[in-house]
């Protein structure tokens, strides 16, 4: 439309509002256009808020070392070029594209359902009184988390977009310890990034980590 926006057929076809559908996790945009550039900028500038949301929804207090590994994987996978990535779902596509990582030794939130799931499973994994995932028998502990099945659909009630993915925690023998569907909360993310600086409690060390690992990707 004149004076509104230039037509970008690739971005139009990738838009979940235009065509909600299952997506291949390996599907990538062809070039680093305006949308993936803005996705990268948002992930870098708001990384502490991204982490806050993901900790809250997953129940895992991802350590700095684990977050660095996840950023490195996201970069290697070119997650910002994933055809399902938009400016609305930056936090969730970041973790979706981080692949599988060990959460052995990670601390869990006190209100996390994952704590009881691990304790009741009967695997070598355990959660101690401090909320840390440890080995029940002081042996090597394999406990991994991954995120699968990114889905888009129209809300039956208001016709809006609904996005979700599945979180899976499993042992080395691929026994599932816990799984849950995580629904993308666009409004919560927008609320966080719109908090004025004078009222915000930022973790700038996390922002600096994202800058260190991703900023050179921007033109």
**Total-model pTM:** 0.87
Structural domain of 172: 9-19+31-184+194-217
Per-residue pLDDT of 16-39, as tens digits, reads 545 555 678 999 999 999 999 999
The more confident residue out of 199 and 95 is 95
Q: Does the pLDDT of residue 68 top 90, yes or no?
A: yes
Q: Give the integer Cα–Cα distance in Å for 185 and 114.
A: 20
Q: Does the pLDDT of residue 72 top 90, yes or no?
A: yes
Q: Does the pLDDT of residue 13 top 60, yes or no?
A: no
Per-residue pLDDT of 131-182, as tens digits, reads 999 998 877 888 999 999 999 987 656 657 899 999 999 987 668 999 999 9
pLDDT the model gives residue 194: 94
Buried b (16+ CB within 10 A) or exposed e, 165-200: bebbbbbeeeeebbebebebbbeebeebeeeeeeee
Q: Is residue 1 part of a domain?
A: no
Q: Is residue 205 part of a domain?
A: yes
Q: Is residue 131 part of a domain?
A: yes
Q: Is residue 102 part of a domain?
A: yes
Q: Is residue 24 part of a domain?
A: no
Q: Does the pLDDT of residue 121 top 60, yes or no?
A: yes
Q: Give the integer Cα–Cα distance in Å for 41 and 45.
A: 6
Domain count of the chain?
1
Contacts of 197 (CB under 8 A, 6+ apart): none
Q: Is residue 3 part of a domain?
A: no
User: Residue 9 CB: number of other CB atoms within 10 A?
Assistant: 7
Q: Give the integer Cα–Cα distance in Å for 178 and 103.
A: 13
Q: 47-58 and 204-214 helices cross at what angle (nearest 10)?
A: 110
The more confident residue out of 200 and 109 is 109
Q: Is residue 14 part of a domain?
A: yes
Q: Is residue 4 part of a domain?
A: no
Dihedrals phi, psi of 6, to nearest 5 degrees: -80, 145
User: Which H or E run contains 68?
Assistant: helix 64-77
CB 2 within 8 A of CB 71: no
User: Residue 83 CB: number of other CB atoms within 10 A?
Assistant: 19
pLDDT the model gives residue 208: 98
């Amino acid at each position: 439309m004149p004076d509104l926006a230039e037509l970008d057929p690739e971005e139009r076809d990738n838009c979940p509002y235009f065509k909600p559908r299952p997506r291949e996790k390996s599907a990538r945009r062809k070039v680093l256009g305006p949308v993936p550039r803005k996705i990268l900028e948002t992930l870098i500038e708001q990384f502490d808020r991204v982490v806050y949301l993901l900790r809250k929804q997953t129940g895992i207090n991802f350590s700095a070392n684990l977050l660095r590994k996840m950023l490195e994987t996201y970069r290697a996978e070119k997650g910002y070029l994933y055809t399902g990535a938009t400016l609305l779902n930056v936090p969730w596509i970041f973790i979706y594209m981080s692949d599988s990582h060990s959460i052995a030794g990670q601390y869990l939130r006190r209100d996390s359902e994952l704590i009881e799931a691990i304790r009741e499973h009967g695997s070598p994994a355990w959660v101690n009184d401090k909320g840390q995932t440890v080995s029940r028998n002081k042996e090597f502990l394999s406990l991994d988390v991954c995120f699968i099945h990114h889905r888009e659909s129209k809300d039956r009630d208001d016709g809006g977009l609904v996005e979700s993915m599945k979180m899976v925690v499993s042992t080395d023998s691929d026994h599932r310890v816990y799984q849950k569907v995580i629904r993308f909360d666009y409004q919560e993310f927008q609320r966080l990034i719109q908090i004025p600086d004078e009222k915000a409690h930022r973790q700038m060390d996390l922002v600096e980590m994202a800058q260190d690992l991703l900023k050179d990707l921007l033109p």
